[in-house]
Amino acid sequence: MSNTVLILGDTGSGKSRAIKGLNPKETVVINVIGKSLPWRGWQNDYKKYNKETKEGNIWDTRNVESILKIFKEVSDNRPEVKNIIVDDFQYTLSFEYLERAQERSYDKFNDIGQNTYFMLTRSKTLRDDLTVFFLSHIEQGVDAYGATKTKIKTVGKLVDDKITPEGLFTIVLLAQQQRTLEGIKYGFVTNSDGTNTSKSPEEMFEDFIPNDLQYVKQKIHEYNTGVENADTTK
Domain with residue 81: its CATH number is: 3.40.50.300
pLDDT at 232 (0 to 100): 67
Question: Residue 231 domain-assigned?
Answer: no
Using one digit for the tens of pLDDT, what is the confidence trace for 130-187?
A: 999 999 999 998 887 788 899 999 987 888 888 899 999 999 999 999 888 888 899 9
CB 112 within 8 A of CB 165: no
pLDDT at 99 (0 to 100): 85
| Contacts of the segment 106-113: beta carbons below 8 A, 24+ positions apart | 109/155, 109/156, 109/158, 110/158, 112/155, 112/156, 112/158, 112/159, 113/156, 113/158, 113/159, 113/162, 113/163
Range of the domain at 13: 3-225
What's the first-to-final CA gap in the chain, in angstroms? 14
Question: Residue 16 domain-assigned?
Answer: yes
Residues of the chain whose pLDDT is less than 70?
230-234
CB 74 within 8 A of CB 126: yes
Q: What is the dihedral of CA 143, 33, 174, 184, to 10 degrees?
A: -140
pLDDT at 51 (0 to 100): 87
Question: Residue 71 domain-assigned?
Answer: yes
Question: Residue 234 domain-assigned?
Answer: no
Question: Residue 230 domain-assigned?
Answer: no
Question: Residue 135 domain-assigned?
Answer: yes
Nearest to 14 by CA among 39, 48, 43, 44: 39
Question: Residue 233 domain-assigned?
Answer: no
Question: Residue 151 domain-assigned?
Answer: yes
Cα Rg of the chain (Å, integer): 18
The count of structural domains within the chain is 1
